[in-house]
């Protein structure tokens, strides 16, 4: 039973929104435990939808998805929440609660383990202050623990999000464009931080990046996603320039700061008077 060692197994996974907006169009892949994988591809290729399937936010419209050998179709209620607890996700941005203090955002990583009452009382007087402090030290901002989250910079907020995942201590870390809203030097620092964490604690790591260079430099396995399918799934030294060109053909490569608006905006939404 080889799939038992697999973190993820996807078979012909499709995800369709509404009637005909096809986000994923037959994805087959397997990801082993402890593996580190980068996803690249043009925006709108279906990476975010794929992440939402991998962290059990959405379910496939058709096809099969196993996590740790468990068919996610069979997971509901408490078992679904427990499956989610074992998967940590870091998003591009806006994934922290801005009005809460940093410590509560970090301790939110415990919510899957805490009872409702215990988590409520933590809002009044934080439990596990030391756990939060340790996680924040690991990402290099222990002094921000009692500040309000919306007073931190974008890069610091991303570190808070990583600290939250550290507190959650999942088997898998998923990171959907974790560095697209920070500057390039900070970007490689954060990617390296994620890799360190996955190496030292043997966690599976799946990261989507629109910086191809980062993906090729740091990951032993790179999957190109286009039109809701895997265009290639190779080691970085086997990926040719032609393949990359093909992957991004017909789309504009976004620069590193621009992808903040994830919803496609219509160019004629606000026509000018002239």
Partner 1 sequence: MNQQAQLLTRPSHRSFFSYLFTALFLLTLVDSWQRTGIDLRVFFEAKGRDALWKFLTGMFPPDLSWNFLSLMLRPTLETIQISFWGTVIAVMIGFPLGLLGTNTLIVRGILNEAELQGAPVRRGLRYLVYLLARGILSLFRCIPEFVWAFMFVRAVGLGPFPGVLAIGVAYGGMLGKVYSEIFEGVNYRPLEALQSIGANKLQIFFYGWFPQALPNFVSYTLYRWECAVRASAILGLVGAGGLGQQIEISMRMFNFNEVLTILIILFLMVAGVDYLSAKVRALL
Q: How far apart are CA 176 and CA 207, in angstroms?
A: 6
CB of 83 to partner 1, least distance (A): 8
96 forms part of the interface with partner 1 (CB under 8 A): yes
Stretches 70-78, 125-133, 199-207, 242-250: which one binds partner 1 (CB under 8 A)?
A: 70-78
Using CA atoms, how far residue 73 sits from 64, 66, 158, 216, 236, in Å, is 8, 9, 32, 34, 33
262 contacts: CB under 8 Å, gap ≥ 6: 43, 48, 92
Sort 107 into a burial class: Cβ within 10 Å, 0-12 / 13-18 / 19+.
Answer: buried
Beta-ladder partners of 88: 173
CB of 19 to partner 1, least distance (A): 15
Kindly state the DSSP code that residue 114 receives in the 8-state scheme.
S
Residue among 7, 43, 49, 89 that touches partner 1 (CB under 8 A) = 89
56 forms part of the interface with partner 1 (CB under 8 A): yes
Residue among 58, 193, 195, 216 that touches partner 1 (CB under 8 A) = 58
Residue among 18, 250, 264, 271 that touches partner 1 (CB under 8 A) = 271
CB of 117 to partner 1, least distance (A): 10
- Taking the least distance from each CB to partner 1, the nearer of 81 and 253 is 81
Interacting positions 152-171 with partner 1 (CB under 8 A): 161, 164, 168
- Taking the least distance from each CB to partner 1, the nearer of 98 and 184 is 98
- Taking the least distance from each CB to partner 1, the nearer of 91 and 142 is 91
- Taking the least distance from each CB to partner 1, the nearer of 190 and 247 is 190
Q: How far apart are CA 138 and CA 146, in angstroms?
A: 16
68 forms part of the interface with partner 1 (CB under 8 A): no
* Sheet bearing 21-32, strands edge to edge: 21-32, 6-17, 62-67, 70-71
Residue among 116, 185, 200, 265 that touches partner 1 (CB under 8 A) = 116
| The token pair that represents 14 in the structure block | 């499709």
123 forms part of the interface with partner 1 (CB under 8 A): yes
Q: How many residues bind partner 1 (CB under 8 A)?
A: 41
97 forms part of the interface with partner 1 (CB under 8 A): yes
- 72 and 79 Cβ atoms separated by less than 8 Å: no
Residue among 7, 43, 49, 55 that touches partner 1 (CB under 8 A) = 55
57 forms part of the interface with partner 1 (CB under 8 A): yes
Please tell me whether residue 274 adopts helix, strand or coil conformation: coil
Q: How far apart are CA 186 and CA 192, in angstroms?
A: 10
Beta-ladder partners of 175: 90, 207
- 22 and 47 Cβ atoms separated by less than 8 Å: no
| The token pair that represents 272 in the structure block | 């000018």
User: Contact positions toward partner 1, by CB under 8 A?
Assistant: 55-59, 73, 76-77, 80-85, 87-89, 91, 94-100, 104, 108-109, 111-114, 116, 119-120, 123, 161, 164, 168, 268, 271
């Amino acid at each position: 039973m080889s799939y038992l060692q697999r973190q993820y197994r996807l078979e012909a996974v499709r995800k369709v929104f509404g009637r005909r907006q096809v986000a994923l169009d037959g994805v087959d892949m397997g990801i082993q435990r402890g593996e580190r994988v980068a996803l690249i591809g043009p925006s709108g290729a279906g990476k975010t939808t794929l992440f939402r399937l991998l962290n059990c936010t959405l379910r496939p419209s058709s096809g099969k998805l196993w996590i740790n050998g468990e068919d996610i179709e069979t997971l509901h209620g408490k078992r679904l929440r427990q499956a989610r607890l074992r998967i940590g996700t870091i998003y591009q941005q806006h994934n922290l609660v801005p009005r809460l203090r940093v410590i509560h955002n970090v301790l939110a990583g415990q919510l899957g383990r805490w009872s409702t009452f215990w988590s409520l009382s933590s809002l009044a007087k934080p439990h596990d202050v030391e756990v939060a402090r340790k996680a924040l030290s690991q990402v290099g901002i222990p002094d921000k623990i009692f500040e309000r989250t919306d007073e931190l910079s974008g890069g610091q907020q991303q570190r808070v999000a990583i600290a939250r995942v550290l507190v959650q201590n999942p088997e898998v870390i998923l990171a959907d464009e974790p560095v697209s809203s920070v500057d390039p030097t900070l970007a490689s620092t954060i990617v390296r931080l994620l890799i360190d964490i996955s190496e030292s604690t043997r966690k599976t790591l799946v990261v989507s990046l629109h910086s191809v260079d980062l993906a090729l430099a740091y990951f032993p396995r790179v999957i190109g996603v286009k039109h809701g399918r895997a265009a290639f799934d190779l080691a970085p030294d086997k990926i040719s320039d032609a393949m990359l060109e093909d992957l991004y053909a017909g789309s504009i490569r976004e620069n590193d700061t621009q992808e903040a608006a994830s919803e496609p905006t219509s160019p004629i939404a606000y026509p000018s008077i002239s």
